[in-house]
Amino acid sequence: FQDINSMKTSSLKIQEILGSISDAFYALDHRWNFTYFNKEAENLLKRKRSEVLGKNIWKEFAPAKGTSLEKAYRKVVKTGKPLSFEYLYPGDDSWYEINVYPSGGGVSIYFKNIDERKKVAFKLQQAYEEKNNILESIGDAFFAVDKDWIVTYWNKEAEKVLGRKREAILGKNLWEIFADAVELDFYKQYHLAMKTGNTVSFEEYYPTLSKWFEVSAYPNEEGLSVYFKDVSLRKEIDIQILQANERFEKVTQATTDAIWDWDLEQNILYRGNGFDKLFGYNVTKNLKKKDFWHDKFHPEDIEEVKNSLDEAIKSSSEEFWRKEYRIIHQNGDLKTVVDKGVIIRDAKGNAIRMVGAITDITDRIKYEQELQDLNELLKVNIRELEITNEQLEQFAFIASHDLQEPLRMITSFLNQLERKYKDQLDEKANQYIHFATDGAKRMKQIILDLLEYSRAGREQYPLEEIDLNQLIKDYKILRNTLISEKKVVIQTKNIKKIKAFSAPLTQTLHNLLDNAIKYSKKGTPPKITISLTDKKSHWQLKVEDNGIGIDERFFDKIFVIFQRLHNKEDFDGTGIGLAVSKKQVESWGGKIWVKSKPGKGSAFYFTINKPIL
Ligand code: ADP
């Protein structure tokens, strides 16, 4: 026998040590048979030590055969170097951390189950991926920097919006890459967030890309997370709206009209400054519908205005509303206004907004009233004039008939007196008889002229096409003797056919031509020019002569009945011609006037309105 006490003691000691280590442990000899299998190994691999000791590992744990585990064991045996690795054992689908050491031609294995750790790592990985997915999928651009401004994250949208690839940016200093933003609000705001630990949100224009960004930066343990998006389009619209509103403001200031803008959806009415002037006090500028009619609208009109407005809004097609009504100014004055509004509708036809203006038409209404009053007055005057004219006509009638009769008697008895007692009377008496006869003759002429004048322009004639050339030819034939006696020359300029009233036109032209011949200079043959000018709305006829002319002082006087500038010894006549002509011309709505220089000649003008087509 042998004393194996010390050997036994150390072997037991080894057993004790091996059994006490908390890691699972087993050992294999050079034939892959188990030489050791500790308690923890029993627990983890669910096999009894008695079952496996002396047995081959690839038989007892067949699922491991041919896997990375076998390869690793063989490698350790071959190289004599230990190995550590993680291994998923197909036999129980568990993860193990395995440490393999070479020992006595075989291997010693320490291992532990790392399912929990794996699970946590997996979850971590999953959470990480999830976070990344979120960061990638959010519509916003996103990046993160650490406390030294080194970029740690840069999502796809950030790549797109800022035009920088992730690879080119990760790990770099933000302000080195975006040096152009150092002067801008971005720099200030991010630093503020980082310094104070408070979130910042702001909008800022980035000139390098000509873009507006809406930015939120969240400081955290690692540094700063920044979310941002391109809001250039919205900003542009905002600016446009702002400008449009500004324009609207300016218009409301510039116009004297009271401008209003009613948002039917929000039920807010905005009123411009014009309202203050309209009502004479500072009206509320922003109000709700229920307060619309609190100002001084005329109580008699207000219901009708409300109803008509409601009706216009309810109809799905009405685009315009207009209403005249009265309001009461602060000073008590009643004002008439016209209120006009454009109705803006949505696709369904619902009114969503109305913009309008109130115009004070009090003065216009007053003016219209005055005009109407004036018209009434004019009508009365015309009536009175008609009566006066009628009376004149009657007077002329009486004059022509009743006065002519006694006149004729005077003339005939004067004739008889002359004939029968001529020889018995002395020369003086005969001369008196002659004066009396002459006076009676003149009186007769005056009566006839008066009658003609009272009739002139009273009759209605049809509008005809008149050949002025023919009219002048007819005149020449009529006054043939006179024309050849006085060697009269009549010229025409631009004469053509025009629409006019034949009889009064003929009479007027004859009168003017007669005068042009009559009032010629002694020894100078009359030279007359008749010309026609187209004045768009009317024709203008001119009869020009080279006669004695008229002093400017008498330009008006000569058109008055019985007004003459000469006695009948120098020039025969009664002073009726131009008065009649004036009446004729005015009867068709024309005008007649004269331009003249004494000793040089005269030009008589008159107009004929063109018919309105
Ligand atoms: P009457 O010729 O019978 O006197 P009118 O009414 O025709 O009456 O003319 C009024 C006055 O106007 C004339 O007396 C004359 O003094 C002046 N008159 C008219 N036509 C001419 C003319 N062409 N040239 C100069 N004077 C004229």
Ligand 1: atom nearest CA of 604 is 23
Residue 155 Cα to ligand 1 midpoint, Å, equals 107
Binned at pLDDT 50, 70 and 90, residue 14 comes out as low
CB under 8 Å to 335, separation ≥6 — which residues? 278, 326, 327, 328, 329, 360, 362
**Tokens coding 175:** 């302000």
Q: Per mean pLDDT, which range of 21-25, 31-35, 443-447, 600-604 is the poorest?
A: 21-25
261-288 per-residue burial string, b: 16 or more CB within 10 A, e: under 16: bbebeeeebebbbbbeebbbeebeeebe
From 510, 530, 560, 564, give the residue whose CB has the most ligand 1 atoms within 8 Å, as the site to mutate.
Answer: 564
Which pLDDT band holds residue 139 (cuts at 50, 70, 90)? Answer: confident
Ligand 1 cavity residues, CB under 6 Å: 515-516, 519, 545, 547-550, 558, 564-566, 573-579, 602
Q: Would you say residue 138 has pLDDT above 90?
A: no
Q: Is pLDDT of 613 > 70?
A: no
- Tell me, in angstroms, the distance from the centre of ligand 1 to residue 185's CA: 95
pTM over 0.75: no
Residue 482 CA, ligand 1 centroid: distance in Å: 18
Amino acid, single-letter form, for residue 393? E
Task: Tell the residue nearest (CA) to atom 13 of ligand 1.
Answer: 564
d(CA 88, CA 101): 19
Quote the ligand 1 centre to 519 CA distance (angstroms). 7
So what's the pLDDT on residue 124? 83
Looking at per-residue pLDDT, the higher value among 72 and 254 belongs to: 72
Q: What is the pLDDT of residues 473-487, one digit of tens each?
A: 999 999 999 999 999
Question: How many angstroms is it from 488 CA to the middle of ligand 1?
Answer: 18
Ligand 1 atom nearest to CA at 580: 6
Do the Cβ atoms of 423 and 439 come closer than 8 Å? no
Cα of 518 vs centre of ligand 1, distance in Å, is 8
CA of 401 to the centre of ligand 1 (A): 28
**DSSP codes joined into one string, 228-280:** EEE-HHHHHHHHHHHHHHHHHHHHHHH-SSEEEEEETTTTEEEE-THHHHHHT
| pLDDT computed for residue 1 by the predictor | 67
State residue 17's pLDDT score: 65
Q: What is the pLDDT of residue 294?
A: 84
In angstroms, what is the span from residue 399 Cα to ligand 1's centroid? 25
Say which range, 277-286, 298-307, 469-478, 480-489, has the weakest mean pLDDT. Answer: 277-286
β-bridge partners, 97: 86, 112
Q: What pLDDT score does 21 carry? A: 65
Average pLDDT over residues 104-121: 88
Element (H, E) at 202: strand 200-206
Q: Measuring from atom 21 of ligand 1, which residue has the nearest CA? A: 515
Q: Which of 238-252, 337-351, 380-394, 535-549 has the highest mean pLDDT?
A: 535-549
Pick the residue whose CA is nearest to atom 1 on ligand 1. 575
Mean predicted lDDT score pLDDT of the chain = 89
In this structure, which residue's CA is closest to atom 12 in ligand 1?
Answer: 558
pLDDT band at 20 (very low <50, low <70, confident <90, very high): low
Q: What is the pLDDT of residue 520?
A: 95
pLDDT score at 206? 92
Closest ligand 1 atom number to CA of residue 579: 6
Q: Token pair of 120, please?
A: 């946590």
The DSSP result for 454-501, as a single string, is HHTTTS---EEEEEHHHHHHHHHHHTHHHHHHHT-EEEEES--EEEEE
**407: CA distance to ligand 1 center in Å?**
27
Q: Give the model's pLDDT for residue 82.
A: 92
Residue 258 CA to residue 577 CA, distance in Å, equals 61
> To the nearest whole percent, how much of the chain has pLDDT over 70?
98
Structure confidence at residue 39 as a pLDDT band (50, 70, 90) = confident
Closest atom, ligand 1, to C-alpha of 573: 3
